């Protein structure tokens, strides 16, 4: 295994990945760690990565956070994707005790009432399952892109995540949505039908709406909140250090 032990190592890897195509990026990363995990939300970006993993039979684990509030279309796509690429997508679900404790404190849909309650819901349904998914992993692959939102405009190809003590790889960081759609069309990649109905970013059903013409891609997520940088917490940490561009 190639040792990556510092932010400087991540910066070097960031430069290496910049010169490769998607297959090259994923192949390089697949050889860096004993356990490499790709977490997919089944969005169009993630489907591109899954297709590359499946088509090239790369030794990368594919996992998803089955929050218990996903759209039926998303659930159906999990099964379809497994079948098409002959892979297993491991589902990580929230603990029932955590859901019950949340409901007792905030109400089942209390996330509409305050940012605190919404963050708490994401913590129960996403962050804690993510921690289990990444336990023991040395590399975490995501579908983050710079064009998804202003908050993600500086997304690097490689960065060190100090809270999780692993390296986070964003192999689609420099892809725009047109390149994503072209890949999907050229390679017959299955995608969520909600994309065609105005949902470029798809999360839990109660927290996602279709966007309006001219709105940013992630405007439909937690739309009732005013913070333009709103995130669920999966990709935000207090003192994270990204590799230099």
**Known binding residues for [4Fe-4S] cluster:** 121-122, 204, 207
Nearest CA to 71 among 199, 245, 231?
199
Pairing of strands 158-161, 241-242: antiparallel
232 is catalytic: yes
The annotation places the binding site at 121-122, 204, 207
- What are the angstrom distances between the C-alpha of 95 and each of 67, 74, 100, 182, 196? 10, 20, 9, 39, 33
The catalytic residue among 89, 141, 232, 243 is: 232
Nearest alpha carbon to residue 208 among 38, 14, 19, 42: 42
Q: How far is CA 220 from the centre of its chain?
A: 16
Report the alpha-carbon distance of residue 94 to residue 156 in Å, rounded.
29
* Bridge-based pairing state of the strands 166-169 and 36-39: unpaired
- Asked whether 138 and 35 are in contact (CB, 8 A), the reply is yes
DSSP state of 6: S
Q: Point out which residues pair with 158 in neighbouring strands.
A: 169
Contact 128, 121 (CB under 8 A): no
Question: Which are the catalytic amino acids?
Answer: 232
């Amino acid at each position: 295994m190639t040792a990556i032990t510092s932010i400087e190592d991540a910066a070097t890897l960031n430069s290496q990945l910049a010169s490769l195509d998607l297959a090259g990026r994923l192949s390089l990363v697949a050889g860096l760690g004993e356990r490499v995990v790709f977490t997919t939300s089944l969005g169009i970006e993630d489907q591109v990565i899954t297709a590359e993993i499946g088509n090239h039979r790369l030794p990368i684990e594919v996992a998803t956070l089955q929050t218990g509030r996903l759209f039926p279309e998303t659930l159906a796509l999990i099964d379809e994707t497994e079948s098409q690429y002959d892979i297993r997508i491991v589902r990580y679900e929230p603990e029932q005790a955590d859901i019950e404790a949340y409901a007792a404190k905030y109400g089942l849909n209390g996330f509409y009432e305050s940012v605190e309650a919404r963050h708490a819901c994401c913590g129960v349904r996403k962050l804690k399952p993510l921690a289990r998914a990444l336990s023991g992993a040395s590399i975490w692959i995501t579908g983050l892109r710079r064009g998804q939102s202003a908050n993600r405009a500086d997304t690097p190809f490689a960065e060190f995540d100090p809270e999780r003590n692993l390296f986070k790889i964003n192999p689609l960081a420099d892809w725009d949505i047109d390149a994503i759609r072209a890949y999907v069309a050229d390679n017959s990649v299955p995608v969520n039908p909600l994309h065609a109905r105005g949902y470029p970013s798809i999360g839990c059903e109660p927290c996602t709406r279709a966007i309006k013409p001219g709105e940013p891609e992630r405007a439909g997520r937690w739309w009732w909140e005013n913070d333009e940088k709103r995130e669920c917490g999966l990709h935000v940490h207090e003192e994270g250090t990204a590799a230099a561009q």
